[in-house]
Structure 1
């Protein structure tokens, strides 16, 4: 590839990838948590259960704790973890002479079994992140229709399962917690609509992508600038209502909003000076995005009480709606529209990219004969992996109509963090196994940064609820069963026993 990218280009690429939809959607469940009526091990973060065990108590808490206004600290922690992992990612990507996902170059460096685990994990990560984003899209679409003056029945605009129930802006109950008769139709339809687009083929020009990025950044800056005038300092007390457990849980949930930073590391092959430019690009991306995200967190928690955004799939827009009802809030009416448009644009581009990525992972695994051949078939007219794209679309669309944003975010983040742990371990293993192999970029300070990356990723994973870990391990066990009883025997490297 041509060596054309410098630190400025890399930073612009990274900001465009990181400034996505998560900051408009997942920030609510990160701030407010996922509270429950009774203390139970299933909804309690692993770190609380471990601390409780050390003190000879159950350690169970009433649901996943929210970070509250201290989410600003969570965002700093996440940026540090991403910086460590991003450097590891860059080294592994630079060792392979082709561009590709973590699955592609893990297959070439660490072997088939680890590649299968990462590929199976990426399917989980892409699917659940898009489920949460599509739920957020639906919430923002409802807000846009409400702004226009077209209110619709909440039965077909909210998930069928609501762990916290559903309230209106005045706090009155619309639905009690639990299952109800309904389905999130907008979340379902947006995934299917974009699946049709992907099957037919789409090429995003750099100019179109840049416009989308500018719209998203403008929406964030508008919210921060106009929201500053409506901050109530009393909302910052208590600053960290759930202590470090809440800060850690908040970081664990907000983590997937940052994962676009890996676009910087995977572009190391096209850098003029990768040893210098890749670290600059990663750190500059994380610095700019962290400042923007902290700005949103500080303004949001200052405008409305932190508990009011728990379980809200459109916390930024709904905060503007609440404040618009107060004296002097009328000036936010048009700001609300601008933020809505920015958020919707961000979510559409995010769902599109991640659905494309998920189908391509299935395609690559099928091409390596680890999944059935039908997943790597290319449509004769559109030249896209149509079957893989449709399966990915249906498997994301249906759950998006059923469940809430918090559950999806938890599963997406544990998958992402686990993949990053394997990437960081991969750097250490390959340093020992193939020390003389060419590396376009090398992580500085020997094994220190990869080890710190592993430890910090595990720390963030410990902030997720125990039930999320259980579901994740069940998913991995299913994946290993599929591999050993099906995929391994189909692999081109399989040698049957005589």
Structure 2
């Protein structure tokens, strides 16, 4: 078999299902939706509506979220169809492997590794800063050397809290899927309750005059705002990573993905309506617009509650991203493209224990030591590349006679998948050049690993 045939070889769905037989299907519809909300709704809901309204869209940010939802819904429906047709672990990595071939699956997976791990490491640093700020209100301060990433010039060497929170999440996930989903459900309910408290309390202080003018930056500002708030939805794709552990995936996966998107959209729009109604949009370009708005209406004590909501939001996002990272690494190890040891399952807990440990070490080091400010935008590239392939992939999935899908299917085929792919490519073109340069370096490294190790150890090419 020549090199071209090897890298483009497609693994059958039956083989992936057989390789995942050690994973137990314990996740139900409710848990899956909670997982999705936990991944999507983070601290950003308390920041993004304010900053984008102030700088880009004005009160028209409400329409920006509607537009972003439409675009994201197209991608979500593509993921839902793939999850229904291919109920296996690994999300877009596995889907790409089955539909396009091994090297395409690897490129998608390598991009998702970047998305998942880098986003958790970045949020771990933010979670630490948020917690330290909250503790400072009570006179509790971390030693400066342990308060932030490695920067001797400013007297900081390690972000201890960022490392500890990642270790805590890892410990929770090694207790088993049921234990981690139960905690996630509780935290998500707390987060939603705090958001509802803000919306209800703030509604009494809304002044309709603050919505005039509604689109101060014009229609173009609303669409630019949509491209910015689109990234507030990133995370729903992590639901697909759990397909190997979901009960009745043909029904549960589409409900989980689309249900997550609907609930998150409602929450984002409600916060945007109340926030821009309380405070003139021109004043919302601050790091904590929700807390600022509460101070403007003299509800300062609610600010502490919002801080707790932000901490809960970031925590559940990290839990779900670490979960998805470990399942992605497990899937790649399962297929031999990374060391097979990473796919080992703890038979007592039914958890891919080595992949959990691996991602924990990488994320803890990234979040605790390195400054990630310049790398955070790379998360967007990894996500949008996966979205693009999944959108185009529907066209190829429908042609596969060996893959039967009697579950969810994208409506208005083939128009919607094509529109979804075009929308994703457009958003990719909006990313800055330096982000693309870093991404090219990342993917070049990934190809070196694939051709240096993966292609030689691939289970598909050995069979």
TM-score range, shorter chain: 0.7 to 0.9
**Change over 3 Å in CA distance of 1:107–1:264 after alignment to 2:** closer
Over aligned residues, Cα RMSD in angstroms?
4.0
- CA distance in 1 between counterparts of 2:205 and 2:144 reads 29
* Structure 2 unmatched ranges of 5 or more: 1-16, 18-27
- CA distance in 2 between counterparts of 1:408 and 1:67 reads 26
Deviation at 1:224, TM superposition (A): 1.7
- CA distance in 2 between counterparts of 1:437 and 1:146 reads 57
> Would the aligned equivalents of 2:81 and 2:254 in 1 still touch at CA under 8 Å?
no
Within the alignment, does 1:447 sit opposite 2:422 as a pair?
no
- CA distance in 1 between counterparts of 2:235 and 2:181 reads 22
**Change over 3 Å in CA distance of 1:474–1:240 after alignment to 2:** farther
- CA distance in 1 between counterparts of 2:271 and 2:240 reads 23
Within the alignment, does 1:217 sit opposite 2:202 as a pair?
no
| Greater alpha carbon shift after TM alignment, 90-99 vs 109-118 | 90-99
> Would the aligned equivalents of 1:227 and 1:303 in 2 still touch at CA under 8 Å?
yes
- CA distance in 2 between counterparts of 1:485 and 1:383 reads 31
- Report what 1:429 is aligned to: 396
- CA distance in 2 between counterparts of 1:480 and 1:304 reads 50
- Report what 2:6 is aligned to: none
> Would the aligned equivalents of 1:17 and 1:263 in 2 still touch at CA under 8 Å?
no
Deviation at 1:208, TM superposition (A): 4.4
- Report what 1:366 is aligned to: 333
**Change over 3 Å in CA distance of 1:483–1:66 after alignment to 2:** farther
Looking at secondary structure, tell me which structure has more strand per residue.
1
1:295 counterpart (260, 267, 270)? 270
- CA distance in 1 between counterparts of 2:280 and 2:386 reads 35
> Would the aligned equivalents of 2:87 and 2:249 in 1 still touch at CA under 8 Å?
no
**Change over 3 Å in CA distance of 1:11–1:352 after alignment to 2:** closer
**Change over 3 Å in CA distance of 1:153–1:391 after alignment to 2:** same
- Report what 2:37 is aligned to: 18
TM-score, normalization: structure 1? 0.72
* Structure 1 unmatched ranges of 5 or more: 2-8, 36-64, 162-178
1:198 counterpart (156, 173, 181)? 173
Within the alignment, does 1:90 sit opposite 2:80 as a pair?
yes
- CA distance in 2 between counterparts of 1:100 and 1:268 reads 13
Deviation at 1:489, TM superposition (A): 1.5
User: Deviation per CA, 1:271-295, whole angstroms, max 9, x where unpaired?
Assistant: 78x5xx9777655543332121112
- Report what 2:8 is aligned to: none
- Aligned to 1:203, the other structure's residue is in SS state helix
- CA distance in 2 between counterparts of 1:122 and 1:438 reads 26
Looking at secondary structure, tell me which structure has more helix per residue.
2
Within the alignment, does 1:337 sit opposite 2:304 as a pair?
yes
Aligned length: 430
- Report what 2:103 is aligned to: 113
2:126 counterpart (122, 126, 136)? 136
